[in-house]
Chain A
Amino acid sequence: MVLKIFFPQCCNRADSGLLVGRWISGHDSAVVLAVIHYPFIPGQVKQYVQQMQAQSGVELSVLGSWSLPKEGQEGMESFLRDLSTIFPQERWLQIRRQMGKTGFTCEVLSRDQNAVAAQRRVKKQKKEEEEDGDAEEKEEDEEKVIFVHYEQRKVMLSQLHPIDSGDAKTDPPSELRQVFQTVALSQPLFFLDKYDDGPLKSTHWQSEGREASIIVELLKQASVPLCLLLSWMLSVWTWICSVRIFNFYPLRFLSSKLSTCVQLSYRTEHMKTLSSPKPAAGHTQFMRKANMLVSVLVDVALGVLLMSWLYRDDHITMLANTLVPAADHVAKELDQLLQWLMGAPAGLKMNRALDQVLGRFFLYHIHLWISYIHLMSPFIEGILWYGGLSACLGLSFALSLLSDMVALFTFHIYCFYVYGARLYCLKIYGLSSLWRLFRGKKWNVLRQRVDSCSYDLDQLFIGTLLFTVLLFLLPTTALYYLVFTLLRLVVVLFQGVLHLSVDFINSFPLFAVGLRVCRSYRLAEGVKFRVLCDEPGVALHLLMEINPLKVSTVVQTYRTPTYSCYPRDSWLALVKKLFVGELIYPWRHKTTKAD
């Protein structure tokens, strides 16, 4: 079997000493974490290793010896060889390197055989392999070694995807996952740097001095009072929201329909998660919190940008001044549309009486709506001004407020649509039922099927009359229904675009994408190997690099779940509903249970 030794790149030039690391059971491999230098006292080394094992939870042990002889250190090798008796292990690795040569040599001593007979050389002679068949047989049962060089800091910080959920699975984690976990958990081992005055000196990625960033430390100190303040403010806000007066039915129903209120409650949930004083447990939690924080900050920044544009140069007055004429224009267009329908639209001949009734009914509604707009016109500027203030909470709030305002201002179109749809729906049901009567059949409610039925003569007579009447009135109603459904769909589309952009702001994982772009080794999909220049007669050396995750996978994995609105029906079901005249509410919110 081939023995794999994962060797950190930072220890390539370390002074001679002992190797500390972990044997990975079941895979015949070892991870070297640090090198403890000579001179040392073996008892202190044992104590240190046990202390580190208790702190980190990783099964650390002394793997073997490392020798890089410098001038004046001749007796090192025999000393290091004798150490295998002091640290009893299953296998004792003796890795040697000469300055100037790139390859390592490794000897493996096994506990049950004695030292002299068990020294199996692991020199790789390429020429011997190819030409000498006998030499191959001799090396058949010798142990082969692969050195896999890894960059310790990157492997420590990286997270392999797909993320292990943590619960006990049926199969043990793979070899690479165990290597990554070992390095990540051995953080206490990397705290001992060369400026410590302790009895032991070791080499690892942080041995030149512990790394820390002043900004990160300051933020950590500042975050505690900030979190307390935030959680206090949130508790006050939740208390206000849960006051009894707000729980009455109409207000409750309204607040579940208005997208601003939904967005408000959603963001409150986020802030509650962010303001909890406990640090994040695990990688997923940390990424979620970071994504939420970055998304809130970007949202607020964009909102403030929007505000600075809006409140400058009297843009609000300009907007308010164009709003009322725009509403007038829309009302005039609708007027013209209805006059056209009341005449002979597209050359179709309408039933005059019904046409006039429906047309006058809708015209009166438009008249009401226009008077309402004119009533509100002095207040519009004030409304816009105060509404624009909501943008300081975030761009998503401004957008949801806009969507709500659009819904309010086009309420008459919604009403027209409902009237037209109900009328049309009634007509269609009546027609279908009377058509069955025309053919002598009946709908059996008990059996949910169509049965034949014998009607009386007067029933047939009246039924046929009504059927004819309804049939000839159908084009008029259908036309009105068509026009108002199209208008309603336009409004729904516009609202849908606004909702989708709010959803995008809420759910896009900006922090994860930024991490993937700037520190791509943190999110790893796998590893890449590269063969380092190998010399004949030396074991195989590979370089292990981190293969970063694809951007699309990053977005998919780290999307924040939202109350996203998505189409409720498929296209076919939607068309069918439109044809029959059922009221359509194309966007469904995940939280609302009532259909």
Chain B
Amino acid sequence: MMEDETFTDISGKTISLDCQSHSSFCREFTVSSPKVSIGKVMVYTCSVWLLAYAVFFITQNTAVLSSAILITLVGMMFHIHFVKVDHESLLIIGSLGIQVSSSYASGREITTFIEMSKIKDIVINEAIYMHQIIYYLCVLLKDPSEPNAVSSVVPLFQSSKPRLNCLVKVYKSCQEILSKSQ
């Protein structure tokens, strides 16, 4: 079952949610953030180079120009490899566990797998952030020594930060699978 409605994140940018159901107990949710816009890239590059030309005009030192080019290139590479998240996905497999992965614009993927025996529940939490109240989906992990206590919280979809309507959809789907396997 493929779905592609338009959701927004907490700052208003459009994101898309993709739900795939591989079987009755295995589902995958992918939240994609908007891509890097070419207009923004051009604005940044032009402003950096104009500044470099102005400095060059004053100091007549060519090292300024080459360092500006180097800084722009390195900055762009750093941004797409470490900062810009392309999509985040959640793969839930009943009685095996949950896999959370986020992939960056350069193709790098960071994946974590949490086994079902360590998972207590998946919940939607509220957080007060300055003047806003934001909702986020998180996984509660069990404490090995105390079966009823929560040892830690793993927040999901941290970079895309979808709104409540998107989270509710994912939450309902996950709870169907979790209730069957626990």
**Chain A positions near chain B (C-beta within 8 angstroms):** 1-2, 4, 27-28, 124, 126, 129-130, 144, 146, 148, 170-171, 174-176, 526-529, 531, 534, 539-540, 542, 547
Q: Check if A2 sits within 8 Å of B91, measured CB to CB.
A: no
Q: Check if A4 sits within 8 Å of B115, measured CB to CB.
A: no
Q: Check if A1 sits within 8 Å of B95, measured CB to CB.
A: yes
Extra pairs beyond A129-B24, A540-B22 (7, CB < 8 Å): A28-B95, A170-B145, A174-B118, A176-B115, A528-B99, A542-B93, A547-B113
Complex: chain B residue closest to A176, CB-CB: B115
Q: Complex formed: what's the CA distance from A132 to B96 in Å?
A: 27
Complex: chain A residue closest to B115, CB-CB: A174
Collect the chain B residues with CB atoms within 8 Å of residue A2's CB.
25, 94-96, 181
Question: Taking the complex as formed, is B117 at the interface, i.e. its CB lies under 8 A from any CB of chain A?
Answer: yes
Q: Complex formed: what's the CA distance from A140 to B100 in Å?
A: 28
Q: Check if B113 sits within 8 Å of A531, measured CB to CB.
A: no
Q: Complex formed: what's the CA distance from A534 to B25 in Å?
A: 14
Q: Check if A529 sits within 8 Å of B94, measured CB to CB.
A: no
Question: Taking the complex as formed, is B112 at the interface, i.e. its CB lies under 8 A from any CB of chain A?
Answer: yes
Choose among B101, B113, B118 the residue with the greatest number of A CB atoms under 10 Å from its CB: B113
Question: Taking the complex as formed, is B88 at the interface, i.e. its CB lies under 8 A from any CB of chain A?
Answer: no
Number of A-B contacts (CB under 8 A): 62
Q: Check if A171 sits within 8 Å of B144, measured CB to CB.
A: yes
Question: Taking the complex as formed, is B69 at the interface, i.e. its CB lies under 8 A from any CB of chain A?
Answer: no
Collect the chain A residues with CB atoms within 8 Å of residue B117's CB.
27, 174-175
Q: Complex formed: what's the CA distance from A384 to B11 in Å?
A: 68
Q: Complex formed: what's the CA distance from A130 to B21 in Å?
A: 11
Binary contact readout B81-94 vs A (1 if CB under 8 angstroms, 0 otherwise)? 00000000001011
Q: Check if A534 sits within 8 Å of B22, measured CB to CB.
A: yes
Complex: chain A residue closest to B99, CB-CB: A529
Collect the chain A residues with CB atoms within 8 Å of residue B96's CB.
2, 4, 146, 148, 529, 542
B93 partner, pick from A146, A170, A528, beta carbons under 8 A:
A146
Given known A-B contacts A146-B96, A170-B145, A527 and B113 have beta carbons under 8 A apart: yes
Collect the chain A residues with CB atoms within 8 Å of residue B144's CB.
170-171
Complex: chain A residue closest to B112, CB-CB: A526
Q: Check if A526 sits within 8 Å of B113, measured CB to CB.
A: yes
Choose among B24, B96, B112 the residue with the greatest number of A CB atoms under 10 Å from its CB: B96
A175 partner, pick from B26, B99, B115, B181, beta carbons under 8 A:
B115
Collect the chain B residues with CB atoms within 8 Å of residue A175's CB.
115, 117
Collect the chain A residues with CB atoms within 8 Å of residue B24's CB.
124, 129, 144
Collect the chain B residues with CB atoms within 8 Å of residue A124's CB.
23-24
Collect the chain B residues with CB atoms within 8 Å of residue A171's CB.
144
Q: Check if B99 sits within 8 Å of A540, measured CB to CB.
A: no
Collect the chain A residues with CB atoms within 8 Å of residue B99's CB.
528-529
Complex: chain B residue closest to A139, CB-CB: B24
Q: Check if A531 sits within 8 Å of B95, measured CB to CB.
A: no
Q: Check if A547 sits within 8 Å of B111, measured CB to CB.
A: yes
Between A and B, 23 residue pairs with Cβ closer than 8 Å are A144-B23, A144-B24, A144-B25, A146-B26, A148-B96, A174-B117, A174-B118, A175-B115, A176-B115, A526-B112, A526-B113, A527-B113, A528-B101, A528-B111, A528-B113, A529-B93, A531-B26, A531-B91, A534-B22, A540-B22, A540-B25, A540-B93, A547-B113
Q: Complex formed: what's the CA distance from A129 to B176 in Å?
A: 14
Collect the chain A residues with CB atoms within 8 Å of residue B26's CB.
146, 531, 540
Collect the chain B residues with CB atoms within 8 Å of residue A531's CB.
22, 26, 28, 91
Q: Complex formed: what's the CA distance from A2 to B94 in Å?
A: 8
Closest 5 pairs (CB-CB, A-B):
A2-B95, A540-B23, A528-B111, A526-B113, A531-B22
Complex: chain B residue closest to A136, CB-CB: B24
Complex: chain A residue closest to B116, CB-CB: A175
Collect the chain B residues with CB atoms within 8 Å of residue A1's CB.
95, 181
B158 to chain A, nearest CB (A): 18
Q: Check if B22 sits within 8 Å of A529, measured CB to CB.
A: no
Binary contact readout B104-121 vs A (1 if CB under 8 angstroms, 0 otherwise)? 000000011101011000
Collect the chain A residues with CB atoms within 8 Å of residue B91's CB.
529, 531
